[in-house]
Structure 1
């Protein structure tokens, strides 16, 4: 991206930015997916042309789904949610019929590692915690509990 005169963000190394007077172009890359957005249609067309010359890729059109986040457009604006992601996660963990809780954990929970205790399945635990981390992007109400359970990734 530096070759195309894009600067890498210091706060997120997957984000590349280009400014030209009052116009900005943003490109974010995650593994083999990318999002390009800006207020300069000519720059988007030029960037796509350059990227197609460098890489084998295809343009999927307007953003609909990215990293578990669904993107909906209407006259009122752009809306994001993770309903499909949440339902898939609940189905995968056999919790599709679970009852919702307003606060999924107490602030002073007292959770701790107890030496000699039977460990949970580490691989499954890490996978589920990783998946819930994506949910905190659109569900800040679960960010605290996700942070708590992620403390036990090495010793579930």
Structure 2
């Protein structure tokens, strides 16, 4: 298993053949959630009362303001791109599976992101690409998961029969 910071080994973009199940990539920075950022995101994309202010009714499962799960997903996806997707020959995603929020993200929280290759296989329909599935985890400074998901990705291959004429 290889551990990588946000910079892959060497300066070249990693292809399907460069990746192995168990490879890990870690973001070099965290993303912080300020009160203002939480409210601004929610106002635009998820205007639920518990994302807009501390004045929540008794039916809310939260004691006050919390970030939208979509906000934590988007912010962590940015770090996943910096750590992994921006350094591989990524051809796009086939989908996202198992998106889960494990704990609320509150004002002042900061998350870091790790990406782990969990499955890979060559495409049967196109020898120029392979399928690489990765687990993305946004974690608190204590290492507890806050948000997780699996990206079903397509990565360019560099092996025989994959060069274009």
**TM-score normalized by the length of structure 1:** 0.23
Greater Rg by CA? 1
Structure with greater helix percent: 1
Structure with greater strand percent: 2
Question: RCO higher in 1 or 2 (8 Å CA, sep ≥ 6)?
Answer: 2
